[in-house]
Structure 1
Amino acid sequence: DDILRRSYELVQGLRKDLRLCNWPKFINRLNSVSKKSVSKGVWKVVKYYRKHQRMLRNTIYYPAFNNGAIEGINNKIKLIKRISFGYRNFNNFKARIMMIFSLYKGEKKKTTKP
């Protein structure tokens, strides 16, 4: 089937361009697609990519930025929440999170010189 072949070639080409961080080739390939040349499912993806071009470009140009650290923090907080089920006071729960992440700054003791 001709439509299936073109859809497959388009998807593989877009994946290759994303993997190699080749934005000009990716956007040219994306904009050269017509609705009748690919399957309905692939066309939905093409429309979505066209709509969100700016975000895709930023993903390619800034590959070092991701939300992995934030996801790790959220996962750890959820784990603490499961383990410490039954806290009566939210402030105690918040303090425990802050202590685990070393974000809690206790009051410094004033030392006097003898």
Structure 2
Amino acid sequence: MALKFSREHEWIDATDPHAAIVGITMHAQEALGDVVFVDLPAVGTVLRQGEVAGVVESVKAAADIYMPVDGEIVEVNEALRNDPSLANTAALTEGWFFKVRLANPAQLESLLDQAAYDVFAANS
């Protein structure tokens, strides 16, 4: 499955619906600047689409991380917690934030594909 994107600038890779991977987009990390801290959700936390799942802080600002779909947090990226700069240097790979077990996979259809997100990001 290709990446899907939220209008809040998170990406999700739901290739494995039992552990879909969530992170922030290149657009988000570029807007934030150098990331210096991340507050990640606790494993086992159940969140609904659109709820705040964590916080990312940079030298410029702090921003909420929003849950792109309903689900339960099954893993957080401890490497990112230890080295927040991964959100800048590897936003779409090693800089992922958490993994989620999808409660409603149909919600993925409400998210943007790469082309739609690129247009949205260019205009936001």
* Structure with the higher helix share, 1 or 2: 1
Higher relative contact order (CA 8 A, sep 6+): 2
Radius of gyration: which is bigger? 1
Alignment TM-score > 0.5, same fold:
no
Q: TM-score range by the shorter chain?
A: under 0.3
> What is the TM-score when the length of structure 2 is the normalising length?
0.22
* Structure with the higher strand share, 1 or 2: 2
